[in-house]
Structure 1
Amino acid sequence: MIQPAFISHAVGENSRLMQDVPPGALTPFVFSDPAGKRWPRLRLILLIFGVFAFLSTVLFVQTLFVAPQMRVPFSLRQLKGQLKALQRANPAGQLASSSLLWQKFGAAKQATKKLAGAAATPSPPAKSRKKAPPNEVRLAFYTNGDPYSYSSLEEHASLITHLCPEWITVINGLGDIQIDPDIRLPKFCANKGIKLMPLLTNLVGDAWQPEAIENLAHGPADRQERFFAKIIAALRDAKAAGVIIDWEQIDPVYKKDVTTFIDKFCDALHNDDKELWLTVQPGQELEYIDFDELSDNGSRSWFEGWLHVLLEETDTKQWIITLGSYGYDWTVGGKKAELISFAEAMSRANNAEIQGAEVSGPSYNPYFYFEDGDKEHAVWFLDVVTFLNELREVRGQKAGGFALYRLGTEDPAIWDALAVPRDFKIENQTRDALEVLKGTDTITDVGEGEIVTVDESRADGMRKLAVDSEGYLTAKYTKFPEFPTLYHQGAGGEHQVAITFDDGPDPRWTPKILDILKTANAKAAFFLVGVNAEKYPGLVRRIVNEGHEIGNHTYYHPNLALAWPEHVRLELNATQLLIETITGRATTLFRPPYAADTQPSQMSELMPLQIAQDLSYLVVLENIDPQDWAKPGADIILQRIKQQRRDGSIILLHDAGGDRSQTVAALPRILDWLHTRGDTIVPLSTLLGTSRDAVMPPLQTTNRSLARLVSGAGFRVYHALEEFLWAFMIVATALVVARTLLVIWLAYRFRRLPRQDFVAPISIVMAAYNEEKVIAGVEGVADVDPRVRLLRQENRGKARALQRALAAARHGIIVFVDADTHFQRDTLPLLLEPFGDETIGAVSGHAKVGNLRTFIARCQSLEYTCGFNLDRRAYTRWNCITVVPGAISAIRKAAIDRAGGLSLQTLAEDTDLTLSLHKDRQRIVYVPQAIGWTEAPESVRTLARQRFRWAYGTLQCLWKHRDMIFNWNYRALGWFSLPSVWFFQIILVAVTPVVDLLLLASLPFGAWSAVLPFVITFLSMDVILATLACILEREPITRAWRILPMRLIYRPMLSYCIWKAIFRA
């Protein structure tokens, strides 16, 4: 039965923490310092340490922002203006025939007649002009992977009717095809109303494969049918209107077979409502010949002569005439010419300070000559003037339309020129658009080699248009525009090649690579990531000592195109100082992460290169990238290098960043193949024509020695701190996962105690603190119910009040309840039931938050559910509950007496008493059905005050009972639950802000991917536990997701309370 309850009431105003310490206590208050010396001494130590750490950090950071004083030869840093203009009357006669490139020029929907007796002759007699067709086809060739091609398409889509992307390649005579689509185009073209006509070619790499078409043409019918089906399926997937065939270098012997094959192909496509267009090269009987006339890119007489021949006896509407807009840069006497864009032609002319280039008769093609070192170059280019002259002829002959070769290389004024009338009477607005040459953000290239410097200058140019006596449009370039330019150098000799390794060093792979290079007596360049160099300085020194070169690859390997300028400088300076500290040398070589083999197409991509150049670095790119990082296999790595060797002289490999066993396996074979080919493996300095000391200057004893000393010490401390933090995160994550799984298992195996009809007299104790000046109705409380006793005393703390109430209690079981907690009707019987088992000394009830009006209160509700109550449910099985809450619990009075009574040494009297009961070998259980609704703080201020008291009291209890931790006498309590309190409720909560700051700080440095898995794991465990707790307590599972904002907003406040408690202790 229920006997009288006792109320112990403390009357008084609010008081500070240390005033709660009971005066005259027989035992000292935990963490008390009667002499008052501990805190001043600790404060002095912390002040000294803080000032030293702050000044050291400031000095260290300052060294990171001080640019290194490097000296790079001026000839390597300043390439602008090294091109010299040359005057030549007509360069045609000085160009070797081998320098001409094959050219796709002319496309047709159908080829209905053979062309016979065609030759590059002067223009036939002029014929009467025909009006341009009303439905003019405007086709544009598109190059995959060229960002300028796509940007031009986006800007001028409304002026295009058909698009021809280079997508499909016939790779062998079995009919196998390779498809390289640009996945953006189908949707884009559909939205813009553009017909997609992919190009079907037999160009594999840089070599035509005529055998593939010849074998298909005279092969079995089923093979041809399979080939047709593959092409049609590809066209359906791309939502294409048809296909354009560009098959070149076909042997005339197979003319009949190929013609029959094309007829069958045409029928198959038409049956699927697809169109078939053929590219036709002007020449005898459709045989493959070179299109370019020796000298220019198609002079007026050459163009008009062929146009008349093609259209004279055919349906002109069936012909689409391709007009070029690009340029060629011929090295006089060289073996090849470079196809360049109009912008690159302008950039080279500007750099060489060309004067007086013009478009005039008889060829009406502009050109200029310049000198680059000891090499003479001739540049012919096609611009808006050549385009308009040719377009007038095309429209005059009433052709079906024209095709532009190609998007991305064209003179931008072409799009304004489409509305120019045939008589060239140009309106002023259009004339301005045609004459002013805008210096845009188009990035151009000058020179040869993969080591670059940057010039971001931009300036407009000018050309003057006129119509000559023959009625053709002419122009004179009075000023060439200036574009952002990459100046290339380091091409080296024809048989010189450099090998470079990125992302190292790595203790597993770098030594193996160094051994292979040493055996082959080959020198390479290693572009180091600072964080790896910091970990393995011995490997860095070995690289340098064995004669190799090292370069800067940033500290954290971020994408610098997405970084801000200060971040870029910090990455470079930090790595440079680290290299100087380790090797005693600086390095002038820099390679940007993620962009070594990428042609910059946006100004944001030039920004880090410009900053590096301002810091005296040479930017090292490369054109031979076997993508060994993707682990394609040693054979593929070697094969790709063989295919790409002619494209450049710098090979990119990786010695870190993952499993590099394939790179190690391929390296000896790469070296052997290069030697067999006749190549010499040289350092980057040799490609530049300078010495190793020039690109890796030894440091001199200067005032920077102090900076190196500071940076060296700073990097060592930083490395130790970083290693500690990473180790802590790994250990913490593992412990969080292990604890989560264990708590889930224990909570799942929790079994309710068997029901017992046990009754006994109890005493209910409640400590009520008057937080206001008056409690209404205090007088006369005892007169209302004789079972209630009201004990008044001055405020000397909750523990003293409870101690007095316990002394007055008359019954063997004490029920503790807080003044702001309300029991349900069955709570007291449920708390009482377990005491039928004499081995049970204490029972913990189920505290739930009753006031859910604010976000703070709702966060506490979830914390009670998935923290306190779930833990007690799990800990019951192993008898390791750490807190029997004073808000709702029942304890045998005899057990309290044997445990030494209610202690006055801590603020967490319930935790202190619980641990004392464990020392007395009492069994403590949890009854989740015994529910008490408590009132939680509703504001941050009151919650912080409460949690500070809890945190400080918990620290006191942990310190007071520290002998129980890792003590086999207390089994799970000593080895599991108490260490869990130390780690998960004190240490982990305290360092949570550090982890959060680490994540935030890692974002701009590109290291977020390393931190993110730990954060996701932490949050995932929280969500899992919250979900389980909601299921067990039959609450909506959706409440579990509240744990995420709670961790981000609620946890920092708890961390503050923990730190405050630690400092107060």
Structure 2
Amino acid sequence: MPQVPPETLTPFVFSDPAGKRWPRLRLILLIAGVLLFLGTVLFVQTLFVAPQMRVPFSLRQLKGQLKALQKENPAGQFSPTSLLWQKFGQARQAAKKLVVPTPAPPARPRKKSLNSEVRLAFYTNGDSYSYASLQQHAGQITHLCPEWMTVINGMGDLQIDADPRLPKLAASKGIALMPLLTNLVGDAWQPEAIENLAHGPQNRQERFINNVLAVLRNVKAAGVVVDWEQIDPAYKQDIAGLIDKFADALHYDDKELWLCVQPGQELDYIDFENLSDNVDRFVAMLFDETSDIDSPGPLGSRSWFEGWLHVLLEDSDTKRWIIALGSYGYDWTIGEKKAELITFPEAMSRANNAEVDGAEIKGPSYNPYFYFEDGDKEHAVWFLDVVTFLNELREVRDQKAGGFALYRLGSEDPAIWDALSVPRDFKIDKQTRQSLEVLEGTDTITDVGDGEIVTVDESRSDGRRNLAVDSEGYLTGKYVKFPEFPTLYHQGAGGEHQVAITFDDGPDPRWTPKILDILKAANVKAAFFLVGVNAERYPGLVRRIVNEGHEIGNHTYYHPNLALCWPEHVRLELNATQLLLETITGRATTLFRPPYAADTDPSQVSELAPLQIAQELNYLVVLESIDPQDWAKPGADIILQRVKQQRRDGSIILLHDAGGDRSQTVAALPRILDWLHTRGDTIVAVSTLLGTTRDALMPPLAERGQLMTRIVSNTGFRIYHATEEFLWAFMIVATALVVGRTLVVIWLASRFRRKAKADFAEPISVVIAAYNEGKVIAETLRALLTSDYKGEIEVIVVDDGSRDETASEVKQAARVDPRIRLLQQENRGKARALQRGLAAVHHAVVVFIDADTQCQRDTLPRLLGPFADERIGAVSGHAKVGNLRTFIARCQALEYTCGFNLDRRAYNRWNCITVVPGAISAIRKDAIDQAGGLSLQTLAEDTDLTLSLHKHQQRIVYVPDAIAWTEAPESVRTLARQRFRWAYGTLQCLWKHRDMVFNWNYRALGWFSLPSIWFFQIILVAVTPMVDLFLLASLPFGAWREVMPFVITFLAMDVILATLACILEHEPIVRAWRILPMRLIYRPMLSYCIWKAILRAVKGAWVSWGKLERTASVPVRA
């Protein structure tokens, strides 16, 4: 209905005749809004402006610490093993002279050796660069040897570490898979395991062989490569016997056995004479001339390599020998016990960072090297590159060996792959020379230094080396410029017996206090890397950590995977957490650890980005090398065992004090502390590892400095925390109430029983209020008057000042059928039109129908049947949407089915129906009079009247078979206008009848129906925007994992109710799924309508009825 002139208004619910309420409230809201806006701007500014922190200069300037040393290799500096090949050759010749000729044993079945060159590549599990190199160069190798199997004890038990990606990749590229079988456990060789196995009973050996065969069959391997080292020569015959049995079993299974041969004293345990007939290939490991525990020297000098090559191949079937060539390096810290194994790119990176002025590859060793200083420590680096590789490969091919092996994928000089076709005389074509001489600064990440505290340098640039051939025909080279790679600079290794313990993800009120108690009892200080959201919830625990002398670090606010985040997101995570920790503790922290250990061992430049951002914000990135993965809850024993196994890898232990059940961590911690003390380790703080102080890493904030920032951030975080806690609590309560209400509605609706059809044929009056209904009124009247109802029908149409042909249509129908009466009035609104119609009725039962509603022939008989029971005061019919032309209309059809009508089915049993709809309903006239008639105080006159009927103890029932078809809005705009009017009218009715809520006099109505409207239709819908914003804001921060269960529960309840409604209404169940896209439209629209209604209510403004333009699109139904 259209707007009614204000002077004719009756005082309505929320009206403010004096007009003073809104100006006063508006002033208050304006002041509060301005303050809130300014506070929000200041708070957000503090989040995006990085806190001013200073890291000690010595901890930031790592790159400049490397200085080149011009140091020549002393003459004759070769490994003591350099001449062992000569001794071995002499001993071999002497042994042959003593051998008495005997008939040769029958030849054993063995796979035939291929005539083509074997190109074997060693592969390291867990090395992303090894896999990347394999993917790139798989087409250039014939065999692949991954480190997969280890004999761990004398019983022959195996430790399997397989890479599941390799079998498929090898098969697709036609590569023969040859897994490596070693006796290397961790960093230590276990000769006793092989010796005891070889000397043990036959059934033990058979079990071992069968276990290996099972692994090989599972991955469709072509055979196995055996690398057993440090074996006592006294077991020579036992080892030969075991290998013979092993080879026989492999050959029977059509697989090969290759045996690694280490030059030097390792050869003493290999019985070449007995094994030569059964081992398919020998793999000579001709590298590591100078091992990591020797003094610095060449890794494969010319004389050493060629000497061993000639001795091993002498008087042998050379095609059965595969020669392994190295491509890696060692970095010796002069004065320390062991060198660091490095890759070719890492050697280049260290030379570049130290600004080494060239390095030559020339005789006599033909191995490149350089020296540099790192602070006060002198370093020597020897490495093998494409020049050494080509010199060695030429010799291998000259000796007609069966092929070569590359040790290893991922550490090699990339130019090797372009050098495989270089001719023997080293006459290199221009294109190949370019690829060999230009050293491309790729995205390969290199490491410099020791320790788990890192800084990042993402710089990269190309280098160059010049190649030449010397007078002896060997390839030589000189590095003119070293390439630059992205580099991680490491520090904080500490002393040999210093170790730090760190905890991630806290604080947690259940586990952190227990861990703090354990540390306090042991007088140990640790570092806690705190998640901002947890610190915000438990600030007292944060203060306790700091007050007890521990260090704290930044672990982001919401614990996202930073490698997947935008740079601004990373900064926001770090700044918000830093600001919060400063607010709680009065200290800053320069320590940061990325979540998920995602960037602990980065292999892609994109993974360096978060570390680079943290470094720009003046953080020190603290990684870890001892990770027992306690988060996976493997058990306290396993946690301790993993710490023991990994202790040699570094000096920082990673544990967790939050993020789940940490009882196993709490149980393991005292045992870890005891074991470390027993081992002779001292547990120190991270600052001690860095050689600085706790205050340097966690500087106290100045008392007067940035006072306003601290006040703003403190207040902002308190408000944010309170808001977040409210939203979490609201979601939990709302979810519980939604689930509870759903279960109740399902139970009640499923118990709804249609009553037996009763005969009722008393005279009735039908009242219709009409305004501009000319398109539909005639069909509405036709449907009414052709009803099967047997009693007398009086139809009163009240024309509320229509400006179309409504009145003429009614007059024309009245001339045909005298049961129709037309009353006309000036436009005064629907409620006044209905009042006038009620005043004119002559019968005891009044039927209300909207002017656009079409009844079926059986609608009135079914609707009026319950009045046979004198206790029934009102009956609700079943309104359905008839115009299903648009998606919006179809959504409303589902809403009518699963919302309005399903609720009425459920509420019918408890007599708590809240709305007898004006679209199709019937009420006794005396019940209306007793309830005070139709009120003009609200826009929802049907809801108002229904609640008034309940106050007078009228029984209201629902008849689902009394179906009437109504026309619904077909666009979002018209739907929003209608729902605003409904929302405002409902709010008026709820306020007017608020005394009924939680009132025992009204039972289910007061304790279930009306509270449901207040919560689910008003409060929940009003708070929805805040929840939605919270959900959207949580998506980039990773909190969506916690929010999604609530969202899924809400949607699941919607789908369940919609499915039940469709079943009860005998409609296709597939329509129930329309509830999901429907929510995307309804949620924001209904929230807008509710807030608009609340605002109008607060203002005390009058709201007009509004008019839905009719389309006459409801099909005519008989």
User: What is aligned with 1:528?
Assistant: 530
Match of 2:450 in 1: 448
Is 2:955 aligned against 1:953?
Answer: no
Work out whether 1:1054 is the aligned partner of 2:1086.
yes
- Structure 1: distance between partners of 2:493 and 2:5: 81
- CA deviations on 1:445-475 (whole Å, 9 max, x unpaired) are 1111111111111111110011111111111
The yes-or-no answer on 1:578 pairing with 2:580 is yes
Matched to 1:260, the amino acid is: G
Shift of 1:133: 8.7
Aligned with 2:34 (options 51, 61, 66) = 51
Separation in structure 1 between the aligned mates of residue 577 and residue 522 of structure 2, nearest angstrom: 29
CA 1:291–1:463 in structure 2 vs 1: closer, same or farther (change >3 Å)? closer
- CA gap of 1:697–1:213, structure 2 versus 1, over 3 A, is same
CA RMSD of superposed structures (Å): 2.3
Task: State the partner residue of 2:8.
Answer: 23
The letter of the residue matching 2:855 is: F
Cα distance, 1:503 vs structure 2: 1.4
Q: Secondary structure at the match of 2:505?
A: strand
- 1:203-352 correspondence to structure 2 within 5 Å: 203-283=184-264, 285=267, 287=269, 292-294=288-290, 295-352=297-354
Aligned match of 2:466 in 457, 464, 467? 464
Distance in 1 separating the partners of 2:146 and 2:435 = 28
| Alignment-derived partner of residue 940 in structure 1 | 972
Residue in structure 2 matching 1:483, options 472, 482, 485: 485
- What is the aligned partner in structure 2 of residue 903 from structure 1? 935
**Unaligned 5+ runs, structure 2:** 94-112, 271-284, 291-296, 775-802, 1098-1118
What is the identity, as a one-letter code, of the residue corresponding to 1:224? Q
Aligned 8 A contact 2:859 2:963 in 1? yes
**Cα separation, partners in 2 of 1:649 and 1:597, compared to 1, 3 Å:** farther
1:492-544 Cα offsets, whole Å, 9 max, x none, are 11111111111112222222222222222211111111111122222222222
Q: Given that residues 330 and 377 in structure 1 are in contact (C-alpha distance below 8 angstroms), is that contact kept between their aligned partners in structure 2?
A: yes
- CA-CA distance at 1:115 after TM superposition: 8.7
Q: How do 1:711-726 and structure 2 match up within 5 A?
A: 711-726=713-728
Which residue of structure 2 aligns with residue 633 of structure 1? 635
Distance 1:748 1:600 in 2: 58
User: Partner residue of 1:828?
Assistant: 860
- Which residue of structure 2 lines up, in the alignment, with residue 968 of structure 1? 1000
| Pair 1031,225 (structure 1): closer, same or farther in 2 beyond 3 Å | farther
The one-letter amino acid paired with 2:468 is: A
Give identity over the alignment, percent.
82
15, 32, 52: which one pairs with 1:32? Answer: 15
Q: Which structure carries more relative contact order (alpha carbon 8 Å, separation 6+)?
A: 1
TM-superposed deviation, 1:173: 2.8
Of the three residues 409, 412, 418, the one matched with 1:410 is 412
> Would the aligned equivalents of 2:735 and 2:1050 in 1 still touch at CA under 8 Å?
yes
Q: Does structure 1 retain, via aligned residues, the 8 Å contact 2:561–2:598?
A: no
CA contact (8 A) 1:133 1:399 kept: no
Match for residue 11 of structure 1? none
- Structure 2 CA distance for aligned equivalents of residues 917 and 1043 of structure 1: 33
Q: Which residue identity does 2:197 align to in structure 1?
A: L
Please report how far the alpha carbon of residue 349 of structure 1 lies from its aligned counterpart in structure 2 after TM superposition: 0.7
Q: Which amino acid aligns with 2:978?
A: Q
Q: State the secondary structure of the residue aligned to 2:471.
A: coil
**Within-5 A mapping of 1:54-453:** 54-90=37-73, 117=91, 135-283=116-264, 285=267, 287=269, 292-294=288-290, 295-453=297-455
SS of 2:909 mapped into structure 1: coil
* 1:616, distance to aligned residue in structure 2 (A): 1.2
Look up the equivalent residue of 2:61 and give its one-letter code: Q
Partners of 2:407 and 2:507 in 1: CA distance: 46
Alpha-carbon distance, 1:654 to partner: 1.4
Q: Matched residue pairs, number?
A: 1023
When residues 95 and 306 of structure 1 are mapped into structure 2, their CA distance, relative to the original with a 3 A threshold, is: closer
Amino acid at match of 2:139: S
Matched residue, 1:110: none
Q: CA 1:423–1:914 in 2, change beyond 3 Å: closer, same or farther?
A: same
Label 1:1051 to 1:116 Cα distance change in 2 as closer, same or farther (>3 A). Answer: farther
User: What residue identity is the alignment partner of 1:82?
Assistant: Q
Q: Which whole-Å CA distance do the structure 1 matches of 2:89 and 2:950 have between them?
A: 105
- Residues 530-570 of structure 1, C-alpha deviation per residue, up to 9 Å, x if partnerless? 11112222222222222111111111111111111111111
Q: What is the rounded CA distance, in whole Å, between the counterparts of 2:177 and 2:745 in structure 1?
A: 61
Q: Which residue in the other structure is 2:712 paired with?
A: 710
What is the rounded CA distance, in whole Å, between the counterparts of 1:149 and 1:66 in structure 2?
Answer: 41
Pair 847,22 (structure 1): closer, same or farther in 2 beyond 3 Å? farther
The equivalent residue for 2:679 is: 677
Instruction: Name the amino acid aligned to 1:72.
Output: V
Seen in structure 2, the aligned counterparts of structure 1 residues 165 and 694 have a Cα distance that, compared at 3 Å, is same
Q: Deviations over 1:681-700 (max 9, x none)?
A: 11111111111111111112
Instruction: Output the CA distance in 1 between the equivalents of 2:586 and 2:92.
Output: 70
Partner of 2:97: none
Q: Structure 2 vs 1, CA of residues 214 and 758 (structure 1 numbering), >3 Å: closer, same or farther?
A: farther
Report matched runs for 1:485-634 at 5 Å: 485-595=487-597, 598-634=600-636
Equivalent residue for 2:894, pick from 852, 862, 869: 862
Residue 661 of structure 2: SS of its match in structure 1?
coil
What does residue 804 of structure 2 align with? Answer: 774
> What is aligned with 2:1108?
none
Counterpart code for 2:289: E
Kept after mapping to 1: 8 A contact 2:527/2:553 = yes
Query: How far apart are 1:208 and its partner, in Å?
Result: 1.9
Report the Cα distance in structure 1 between the residues aligned to 2:1085 and 2:218, rounded to whole angstroms: 56
Distance 2:79 2:1091 in 1: 80
- Provide, for residues 795-848 of structure 1, a one-character-per-residue CA deviation record: whole Å limited to 9, x for no partner: 211111111111111122222211222222211111111122222211112221
C-alpha distance in 1 between matches for 2:287 and 2:144: 22
* CA distance in 2: counterparts of 1:837 and 1:412, whole angstroms: 94
**Partner residue, 2:1075:** 1043
Return 343-352 or 158-167, whichever deviates more: 158-167
Which residue in 1 is equivalent to 2:817? 785
2:293 aligns with none
3-state SS of the aligned residue for 1:1019? helix
Structure 2: distance between partners of 1:771 and 1:468: 106
**3-state SS in 1 of match to 2:159:** strand
CA distance in 1, matches of 2:123, 2:1073: 49
* TM-score using structure 2 length: 0.89
Matches of 1:747 and 1:708 in 2, distance apart?
56
**TM-superposition CA deviations, 1:42-76 (whole Å, max 9, x none):** 22222222211111000001011122222222111
Q: Output the CA distance in 2 between the equivalents of 1:236 and 1:917.
A: 82
Q: Does 1:754 align with 2:737?
A: no
Structure 2 equivalent of residue 805 of structure 1: 837
Equivalent residue number for residue 126 of structure 1: none
Secondary structure at the aligned position of 1:504 is classed as coil
In the alignment, which residue of structure 1 is the partner of 2:790? none
d(CA) in 2 for partners of 1:771, 1:700: 75
Cα 1:397–1:290, aligned 2, differ >3 Å: closer, same or farther? closer
Contact 2:883 2:889 in 1 (8 A): yes
* Secondary structure in 2 matching 1:815: strand
| 1:653-668 to 2 correspondences below 5 Å | 653-668=655-670
In the other structure, the counterpart of 1:846 is 878
Residue 562 of structure 2 aligns with an amino acid whose one-letter code is: L
Gaps of 5+ in 1: 1-13, 106-113, 120-131
